[in-house]
Amino acid sequence: MKTLATETAPPQPRERVRLPLTIPIAPYLRDHRIDGKIVLPAVEILQHLAASVMAHRPDGAVCRMGAAKFERFLPIPENSSVIEACHELEIYEDGRLVSRLTTRSVIPGTDIKRTSVHATVEFTAPKEGRPPLPMDMAAALDGVSYEIPAQILYRELVPFGPAYQNIMGGLFLAESGAVAKICAAGHAAASAPLGSPFPFDAALHAACAWGQRFHHLTAFPVGFEERIIIEPTVPGESYHCRVLPVVTTGDDLTFDIWIYDAKGGVREAIRGVAMKEIFPGRIMPPGWVQREEAAPLAAIRGQYRAVAVVDRRTMADFAALALTAPEGERLEKMGKKRQTDFLAARLALKFLSRKLFADWTTPASAIQTVSPNGINPCCTVAGTNDPVFCSVSHDSRFAVAVAGEEEIGVDVERLSDKVVKARRIFMGGEELALTEASPLGIVQASIRVWSIKEGIAKATGRSLAESWRKVKVERIERCRSLLTVEGIRYTAFHDTVEDHVFTAVKRGWTEDERA
């Protein structure tokens, strides 16, 4: 009779081997310093373990990894040319290969040697049934983004030397995650068998910056659940990375990371990347990056079922892959500028649909955002014809989509004194007086009147010229304005992001508001 201990005992390896591992210290590795010490990057450790596995077992599936733990930094002495380490390999009947990188050192003042485990990883088949990240979520961020230029990122947030400065241009952060263009640097790093180590490393920098921005802590990678390399990255090429926060409670952060090529092909998928504050109180984010202000668009978000925003600076070159077939047909008929506007609006509407129905897995190409008339925006449950009330708008930077319980209209405009020059075209005499007397200033007040009338045109199906005539704005405030349309009361809600004004309108206002 089997005992409980026997039934629950973990499987034992059928073979254990200890393989010597000599790690050459190339000059570029000295650019990777943490807390003032040169440290072998986790991506390099994985590369050396994978190469050692391949030398011992050429049939090993090293591009499929799981249960990785980075347990202890492996420091590199200043004048060393090599690190003498050991690869401890366990081979299981089910095909799993468990690798550990260890070193031995003498305890100071004694003759006793101790073994340190620096990293553990399983090379194994991936789990089944893990859906890919939908293409709309891969191609852009949902939310108002915050840009950190690469030179500032690497000077103040991730202070590595030039070899490890592989985020290109700027890093964009929003509550929904991070996107960046990343480079597989052409340094003399080994690219076999896992591909260039630099793209995954750069994606970890983006995750680190996200933690500093939104959780006020400097977190380092301590492991991951799964890494699948579909096609190894190539030195000298650039890629698009998407960092998706998964768990963000307490001091531990977990991310999923996706690395794409220029055509939108997935090169790497890394799930369950665990990051933790290793030096609490010692390595702190600078004050300027820590978000303290309220979440953007708070005035509008509080009034509607869902709001989605796309900052077009975050859009990947392959964003068109997120379109349905009818959307793609419309895109092909447009000029280049109109294509970008159209793409940004479609992405915002797809994000809106996901929020409304808590759907994070349906392929983007199955979410239709254009009504049968080919004009109005559409927000439906995937696979059904159940629409909700929605509206979309875009300007030179943002696309915004809003959903509500009844007809609504949204507009976003960049501040410009051009609106003042044209205001007699779309305002009545009382509105002219309101804008001239507004404590907001004539430009801010005028842009609100313009946006209100744009929003009413969308909400009611009127032409813009008719909206100019029939909308009567009665009060203009920074975050809320009151108006009537042929005696029907409406409220407009405003939010400002830098020099962009967002406005959404819906029916109704109370006597208290009027007073």
Closest CA to 459 of 402, 500, 413, 419: 402
The tokens describing 230, both together, are: 């579909």
List beta partners, residue 19: 87
The tokens describing 69, both together, are: 């733990």
Query: Rounded to an integer, what distance in angstroms lies between the CA atom of residue 147 and that of residue 108?
Result: 47
Q: How many CA atoms lie within 13 A of 475 on its CB side?
A: 15
Task: Render the burial of 382-416: b for 16+ CB within 10 Å, e for the rest.
Answer: beeeeebbbbbbbbebbbbbbbbeebbbbbbbebe
Closest CA to 222 of 6, 18, 61, 67: 67
Closest CA to 303 of 473, 483, 506: 506
Q: For the domain 298-514, what is the CATH superfamily, name and number?
A: 4'-phosphopantetheinyl transferase domain (3.90.470.20)
- Burial of 254 per CB tally in 10 Å (0-12, 13-18, 19+): buried
The length of the chain, given as a count of residues: 515
Task: Dump pLDDT digits (tens) for 406-464.
Answer: 889 999 999 999 999 999 999 999 999 999 999 999 999 999 999 999 999 999 999 99
Q: What pLDDT, on the 0 to 100 scale, is given for residue 251?
A: 77
Query: Rounded to an integer, what distance in angstroms lies between the CA atom of residue 394 and that of residue 309?
Result: 9
**Residue 349 backbone dihedrals phi, psi, to 5 degrees:** -70, -35
Sheet architecture: strand order including 146-149: 15-24, 82-91, 97-106, 113-123, 64-70, 219-229, 266-277, 252-260, 238-247, 177-183, 167-174, 146-149
Asked, colleague to colleague, whether 9-123 and 135-282 share their fold, the answer is: yes
What's 126's DSSP letter?
Answer: P
Query: Rounded to an integer, what distance in angstroms lies between the CA atom of residue 164 and that of residue 154?
Result: 9
Query: Rounded to an integer, what distance in angstroms lies between the CA atom of residue 478 and that of residue 480?
Result: 6
Whether 104 contacts 118, CB under 8 Å: no
Closest CA to 288 of 177, 209, 219: 209
Whether 347 contacts 322, CB under 8 Å: yes
Task: Dump pLDDT digits (tens) for 296-336.
Answer: 899 999 899 999 999 999 999 999 999 999 999 999 999 98
Closest CA to 187 of 239, 235, 259, 233: 235
Q: How many CA atoms lie within 13 A of 66 on its CB side?
A: 9
Whether 209 contacts 150, CB under 8 Å: no
Closest CA to 375 of 312, 463, 297: 463
Query: Rounded to an integer, what distance in angstroms lies between the CA atom of residue 169 and that of residue 78?
Result: 31
The contacts of residue 219 (CB under 8 Å, 6+ apart) are 207, 208, 211, 251, 252, 253, 275, 276, 277, 278
Statement: the pTM of the whole predicted model exceeds 0.75: yes
The contacts of residue 200 (CB under 8 Å, 6+ apart) are 43, 227, 257, 259, 268, 270
Q: Where are the chain's structural domains?
A: 9-123, 135-282, 298-514
Whether 245 contacts 137, CB under 8 Å: no
Whether 483 contacts 454, CB under 8 Å: no
Residues 135-282, CATH architecture: Roll (3.10)
Q: Which CATH class is domain 9-123?
A: alpha beta
Per-residue pLDDT of the chain (515 residues; tens, 9 = 90+): 455 555 667 788 889 999 999 999 999 999 999 988 999 999 999 999 999 999 999 888 899 999 999 999 999 988 889 999 999 999 998 889 999 999 988 777 676 778 999 999 999 876 676 789 999 999 999 999 999 999 999 999 999 999 999 999 999 999 999 999 999 998 877 788 999 999 999 999 999 999 999 999 999 999 999 999 999 999 999 999 999 999 887 778 999 999 999 999 999 999 999 999 988 888 899 999 998 777 889 999 989 999 999 999 999 999 999 999 999 999 999 998 899 999 999 999 999 999 998 889 999 999 999 888 777 888 876 555 566 889 999 999 999 999 988 889 999 999 999 999 999 999 999 999 999 999 999 999 999 999 999 999 999 999 999 999 999 999 999 999 999 999 999 999 999 999 999 999 999 875 555 55
Closest CA to 265 of 171, 142, 133: 133
Radius of gyration of the chain (CA): 28
Q: Determine what percent of the chain is predicted with pLDDT higher than 90.
A: 78
